[in-house]
Amino acid sequence: MNTFPKIYKKIEQYSTIILHRHTSPDPDALGSQAGLARSLRLKFPDKRILCAGENDEGDLAWINTMDEVTEADYKGALVITTDTGNTARISNKLYSKGDFLIKIDHHPDVEPYADLSFVDDEAPAASQIVADFLFEENLPVTAEVAYPLYAGIVGDTGRFMYPETSEHTFNVVAKLTATGININQIARNISDVTFAQAKLQAEVLEYMKVDPSGAAYAILTRDALEKLGVDSDQASCTVSTPGRIKDIIAWNVFVEKPDGTFRVHYRSKGPIINELAAQHDGGGHALASGANAKDMDEVKQIFAELVQVTKEYREKNE
C-alpha cells in the first residue's frame, strides 16, 4: 500500500517537523535526511524543519550538518526517521518525545516502530525512496535538494554496483542530475581519503586473516588508528578494501572505539549477513550491515558466525 499521500497529509498538519537518521551515518542516512528537510523547507517556509542527530557526521559533513534541537522542540512535533531500521540505531534518542512518528526506510522491517511507515526493502537506498516521495507529491526538487539525495544513492548502491540497483534507480538519478548538480564533485567527495586513511587501507590487508571458507576479518585497534592519526569514524574507509580480493567471500572489519568496544562492519559477496548483525545490536542490508561488539569474546563469536554462514553458502553454491 502506498503511504506517500498519508505521509504528505501528516506533514501538512504539523508546524514543527524533526528529521532523524541512524548513528554513525553513511551518505544515504545524511542524504535522505537532508534531501527531505531541504525540500520541505522550500515547500513550507513557515514550518520549522530541523535535522537531528548526534553531530557524528565526521568526513561526511559536506552532505549535511545537524541543527540545534532541544527536548522542548519535540512538543507537538512530527518526527520522521530516514534510513533507520530499528530504534537502537536512531541518532539522538529524543525522537520518542514527538507527537507522531513516521519511518521512511529500505532495510528489512524487523522493528515496525513508527505510527506510519513507508518501507521498501527492495530499494537500494532510502534517498531513492525520498526522491520518489518528492516527485510523486510534487514537492520541490532543486539542485540543493538533489545534491544530498544523489550522494545517498551513489553511496548505498556502491556507485551503482550493488544488485539492488535497478532501471528505476537510473530513472531517479537522471531526474536528480537534471537539476544541474555537480556529480563529479560528489564522486570525488565520496571517494577521496586523506593520506593517513590511504595508509590505513593498505595496512588493513596486513591485519586481515582469511579462513579457508572464504570468510575474513581484520581488527583495527586504537593503537593502530592513533599511530596513523585516524579516528574510528575515519576508519570506515577500509571496509570495502577486502572486497577486491577474489579469495574473500565475506568479511568483518572490527574498529575499536575509544571506550574499548568495537564497531563491527559486515560485508559480503553472497552470504546473507544482516541477520547476523541483528544479533549484535545492529542490522542493515543482506550484503552490507553494521553491528557492535562489547569485547574480544564477542568479536570472536561474530567471526565464528560469519565463518559458518560462509561455509553454508559455499556448500550450497558449489
The domain defined by 4-190 folds into: inorganic pyrophosphatase (n-terminal core) (3.90.1640)
CA distance 38 to 49: 8
Over residues 156-169, mean pLDDT: 91
pLDDT at 1: 52
Per-residue pLDDT for 65 more than 60?
Answer: yes
Phi-psi region of 68 (alpha: psi -120 to 50; beta: other; left: phi over 0): beta
pLDDT band at 58 (very low <50, low <70, confident <90, very high): confident
Identify the architecture of domain 195-317 in CATH: Roll (3.10)
Which cell numbers hold the place of 170? 537510473
Q: Where in the chain is the domain with CATH 3.10.310.30?
A: 195-317
If one counts every other C-beta atom within 10 angstroms of the C-beta of residue 279, the result is: 12
**What is the DSSP code (8-state) at residue 141?**
-
For all residues of the chain together, what is the average pLDDT? 93
Query: In Å, how far are 17, 57, 84, 147 from 240, measured between CA atoms?
Result: 35, 19, 21, 24
pLDDT band at 197 (very low <50, low <70, confident <90, very high): confident
Per-residue pLDDT for 151 more than 60?
Answer: yes
Q: What is the pLDDT of residues 278-304, one digit of tens each?
A: 899 888 888 888 899 999 999 999 999
Q: What is the pLDDT of residues 68-93, one digit of tens each?
A: 999 999 999 999 999 999 898 899 99
Query: In Å, how far are 36, 53, 261 from 69, measured between CA atoms?
Result: 17, 9, 28
Over residues 42-50, mean pLDDT: 98
Per-residue pLDDT for 140 more than 70?
Answer: yes
pLDDT band at 236 (very low <50, low <70, confident <90, very high): confident
Per-residue pLDDT for 270 more than 70?
Answer: yes
Question: What is the β-pairing status of strands 116-119 and 100-105?
Answer: parallel
CA distance 293 to 274: 15
Q: Where in the chain is the domain with CATH 3.90.1640.10?
A: 4-190
Helix, strand, or coil (residue 103): strand
Which cell numbers hold the place of 91? 541518532
List of long-range contacts for 204-209, beta carbons under 8 Å, 24+ apart: 204/238, 204/241, 204/242, 204/253, 205/241, 205/242, 205/245, 208/242, 208/248, 208/251
Work out whether the CA dihedral 104, 30, 123, 266 comes out positive or negative.
Answer: negative
